Amino acid sequence: MHRIVHIIAFIFLFAVLSCREADFSQPNSLKKIQYALHHPEDNTILVAAHRASHSKYPENSLEAIRHTIEIGADIIEIDVRSTRDGQLILMHDATINRTTNGEGDVESMTFSRIRALHLGGSDKKHVYHIPTFTEALMEAKGKILVDIDIKSASVSKLVEVIHQLDMGDQVIFFDGNFDVLDSVKILDSTLMVMPRAQSAEKLTWMIDRYHPPIIHIDPDFFTPEVVQTIKDGHSRIWINALGKPDILALLGFGGWSYASLVNGGANVIQTDRPAAMLKFLVKKERHW
């Protein structure tokens, strides 16, 4: 009997999690987003779409980026890797196995080979391809902030593209490796970096070293003391709703799971359900 109950519960949970996020549209403005990011006293909580808004479209696709902009999210998080011939593309995993109809390591494949593949979710009517970093930035230019999760990409090439497109004030470089963030700052000290705080001892050091507009912290490091230290350093707090908070929201407990992040002092929340997060924050008068 217990086994049957568990199976039914699993099927119900799977059905809920497989549902596409409800449509949502909220006009947004890059100027408003930038103001909220750079003014810690602003009450607005910004919403970051993890791998772009991928409830309807493949993650890290141009279509997902366009949808992120359409629903009015504030930040697109994208993952960037280099192909064998040095092209910068959007791909989270080190391989293409999970997200495309092909197999292989990104770094061992040429761009032409990768470009010929189809992203998951493609059909006869809609074929989705892996975009380049340049294409992704062109979609976002003048509309939304871009969080660059550096996977295996050349920092110098990333900075070169950003300079070519004159988008230095729209991008944030994220990496847990301080050497990588240092290399960004060496190439262009005006570019924004987001360090990841994993110990209280490193917090003040990071603030003094980078003067970051925002710092990424993990849920198990989300304490009042850490929050206060970051805000005293005139930075803002980025935290994820990925996993448990997003799942609880889908099950109807968003008022509790998302509220705990808001009440804890988050300034930017990254989520796999940006439309649901926006609805919640608008209702709470924490987003325009």
Report how far residue 48's alpha carbon sits from residue 278's, in angstroms, rounded to the nearest whole number: 10
For the chain, the domains span 24-283
Q: Tell me what percent of the residues of the chain surpass a pLDDT of 90.
A: 83
Q: Tell me what percent of the residues of the chain surpass a pLDDT of 70.
A: 92
Task: Give the pLDDT band (50/70/90) at residue 3.
Answer: low
Q: Which of 86-90, 201-205, 210-214 has the lowest mean pLDDT?
A: 201-205
For residue 268, give Cα distances in angstroms to 28, 235, 245, 285, 286.
16, 11, 14, 15, 11
Count CB atoms within 10 A of the CB of residue 142.
9
For 259-284, b/e burial (b = at least 16 CB within 10 A) is: eebbeebbbbbbbbbbbbbbbbbeee
For residue 208, give Cα distances in angstroms to 122, 205, 211.
47, 5, 6
Report how far residue 284's alpha carbon sits from residue 201's, in angstroms, rounded to the nearest whole number: 34
Tell me which CATH homologous superfamily contains domain 24-283: Phosphatidylinositol (PI) phosphodiesterase (3.20.20.190)
Global pTM exceeds 0.75: yes
Which token pair is 99?
């997200």
Report how far residue 84's alpha carbon sits from residue 216's, in angstroms, rounded to the nearest whole number: 30
Give per-residue pLDDT as tens, 93-148: 999 999 999 999 999 999 999 999 999 999 988 999 999 999 999 999 999 999 99
Q: Given this model, what pLDDT does residue 8 score?
A: 45
Report how far residue 237's alpha carbon sits from residue 24's, in angstroms, rounded to the nearest whole number: 25
20 Cβ neighbours under 8 A, 6+ residues apart: 55, 56
What distance lies between CA 237 and its chain's CA centroid? Answer: 14
Q: Given this model, what pLDDT does residue 5 score?
A: 46
Q: Is pLDDT of 56 > 50?
A: yes
Answer for the pair 25, 70: CB distance below 8 angstroms, yes or no: yes
Count CB atoms within 10 A of the CB of residue 97.
12
SS3 state at 4: helix
Which token pair is 211?
């003067």
Give per-residue pLDDT as tens, 199-209: 778 899 999 99
